[in-house]
Chain A
Amino acid sequence: AQTVTQSQPEMSVQEAETVTLSCTYDTSESDYYLFWYKQPPSRQMILVIRQEAYKQQNATENRFSVNFQKAAKSFSLKISDSQLGDAAMYFCAYRSAERSGYALNFGKGTSLLVTP
């Protein structure tokens, strides 16, 4: 089974600054998809950004971008111009495209604190 590792249990960033959350994964597959989800204190998980493994170009969604390094099996999330509303748990997730089903494998999460 694929494992997803988020090595930073907690991170802190000042408002308007940039922060990078790390994620690595272990897989022998060549075709897969990667996601970052955000879970605010309200508990609802929300998709932040997604990346197809066969695309070399890094995905970008407004202030959120990823640094996808396929050879290194790394998928970090960069948040620019951090806002107080970015405070949440961030989960990195992996989805295989080579086995049936659409389930996600999640990391343990990184708790992001945004300070004024």
Chain B
Amino acid sequence: ETGVTQTPRHLVMGMTNKKSLKCEQHLGHNAMYWYKQSAKKPLELMFVYNFKEQTENNSVPSRFSPECPNSSHLFLHLHTLQPEDSALYLCASSQVTGYLQPQHFGDGTRLSIL
């Protein structure tokens, strides 16, 4: 059982739909991250939350809206997406007690925009 759970595993949506990705961590961590993984490109950091507060927004378009209600849950709300937004979206968590702390990743949500 993974310590970081992402749902759904796959999502197909039209450009006008609204959907949400969910991430839950069971590791007692206090930092959570959203990454976008596209083919042939490095993982792109999207958002960082430390203790429920957003600390980084890596110039992500407003059609992606994160929400972190507590240190264990992270959402990514999607609306009016574009075909280039099709990718694997990875959630990760870590402790913020030291820079050597590794990030623990979920299995990702494979998003396809029609």
Contacts and interface: CB of A to CB of B under 8 A. Distances in A.
Interface of A: 4, 32-33, 35, 37, 42-47, 50, 52, 91, 95, 97, 100-109
A104 B40 contact: no
A101 B108 contact: no
A109 B43 CA distance: 9
Contacts of A47: 102-104
Given A35-B102, A45-B92, A102-B94, 20 more contacts: A32-B99, A33-B99, A33-B100, A37-B105, A43-B88, A44-B106, A44-B107, A47-B103, A47-B104, A52-B100, A97-B99, A102-B50, A102-B99, A102-B103, A103-B33, A103-B48, A103-B56, A104-B43, A104-B103, A108-B40
Given A102-B48, A103-B33, A103-B56, A95 B108 contact: no
